[in-house]
Amino acid sequence: MKPVRKAVFPVAGLGTRFLPATKSIPKEMLPIVDKPLIQYAVEEALAAGIETLIFVTSRKKHAISDHFDRAFELETKLAANGKDDLLECITNIIPTNVIRADVTQLETLGLGHAVNCARGLIGDEPFAVLLADDLIKSDGPGCLQQLISQYEKSGRSTIAVQNIATEDSDQYGMIEPSSIGREVLSIIEKPKPADAPSNLAVVGRYILTPEIFPLFEQVGAGAGGEIQLTDAIALLMQQQSIEYCEFTGRRYDCGSKAGFIEATVDYALERPELRDKILLHIRDSLNR
């Protein structure tokens, strides 16, 4: 069984829910306090042992590549001014032994299409997929590390899931879990609450085997008129068993404005230099 050493980050989406901010700024570059969403996802991947980072991006999203590139003028100025802490935080985001690659998705045809764009760089290896919109905070091993640990025991594609309110099922891919073990019996994209097979929703972390790539050519446009990753996973289930992982951690849906604000507040409260000011502001706001 080959180890999981490559991760795909689909970042070509238009981010329409955050317009007008995302007219010129990729939604993955929106900051939670002072760090963009995509950096949190990258750090989670690196902590899990990922050695190759593949960004599936668009022609207009240069800001993501720029963020992970060197900024020599800025670095020189920070060094000259003795701001070593700031210099450290912008120069060591990605270790030098980690490979970074960009793949252009010429048309935004869906998450499944985006993942398939990375096929040439993945080859015949298992790989991870991380959606930066889902910011997952764990006190212990990160969500991706939890998935990889489970994959290393089973050798099966593994998807992260969490319990949600059934009335929200039309916003997620939903699974039908086996009553024994962790096998996924079925998966459906954004079903109506009455049709949801359980209250376990798929969130943005996956470990997939390379057998999924030919299946993208078989799935047509699904929910939203796009090529859905969920539909390809459903086809893969006809060939091999797939497992689910109920990860430990707090997920923030930063693809929504409410989730983004919740994450910003919670992460700010963990910063000693911000906590008291934020709490005071919250109390004052509630008392108005």
pLDDT digits (tens, 9 = 90+) for 129-171: 999 999 999 989 999 999 999 999 999 999 999 999 988 898 8
Strands (E), the chain: 6-10, 31-32, 35-36, 52-57, 99-104, 127-130, 134-137, 157-163, 173-177, 184-189, 200-208, 242-246, 250-253
- Residue 246 has a pLDDT of 93
pLDDT score of 262: 96
Average pLDDT over residues 78-104: 86
What pLDDT shows up at residue 5?
96
Instruction: Indicate if the pLDDT at residue 66 is higher than 60.
Output: yes
Is the residue at 44 inside a domain?
yes
Give the CATH number for residue 169.
3.90.550.10
165 and 35 together in one domain: yes
- The answer, yes or no, to whether residue 207 has pLDDT greater than 90, is yes
Instruction: Report the DSSP beta bridge partners of residue 9.
Output: 55
pLDDT band, very low/low/confident/very high, at 233 (cuts 50, 70, 90): very high
Confidence class of residue 179 from pLDDT cuts 50, 70 and 90? Answer: confident
Q: What is the pTM of this model?
A: 0.92
Whether 246 and 106 map to the same domain: the answer is: yes
Containing structural domain, residue 234: 6-255
**In this predicted structure, what is the pLDDT of residue 221?**
63
Same domain, 86 and 171: yes
Query: Does 189 lie in the same domain as 269?
Result: no
Q: Are residues 203 and 269 in the same domain?
A: no
Could you give the count of Cα atoms lying within 13 Å of 107 in the half-sphere of its Cβ? Answer: 4
Q: Between 241 and 217, name the one with better pLDDT.
A: 241
Same domain assignment for residues 12 and 148: yes
Query: Which residues face 207 on adjacent strands?
Result: 128, 158
The answer to whether the CB of 191 falls within 8 A of the CB of 74 is no
Examine the domain organization and report whether 144 and 197 are in the same domain. Answer: yes
Q: What is the pLDDT of residue 81?
A: 86
Q: Are residues 172 and 38 in the same domain?
A: yes
Check residue 224 and give its pLDDT: 59
Judgement on whether residues 240 and 282 belong to the same structural domain of the protein: no
Residue 2 has pLDDT above 90, yes or no: no
Please indicate, yes or no, whether residues 74 and 26 belong to a single structural domain of this protein.
yes
What's the confidence (pLDDT) of residue 223?
55
Residue 76's pLDDT is what? 86
Asked whether residue 190 is assigned to any structural domain, the reply reads yes
Question: Does one domain contain both 231 and 246?
Answer: yes
| Tokens standing for residue 28 | 């993955």
Q: Judge whether 1 lies within some domain.
A: no
For residue 203, name the pLDDT band (cuts at 50, 70, 90). Answer: very high
How many structural domains does the chain have?
A: 2
- Please check the confidence at residue 222 and state whether its pLDDT lies above 60: no
Same domain? 244 vs 260: no
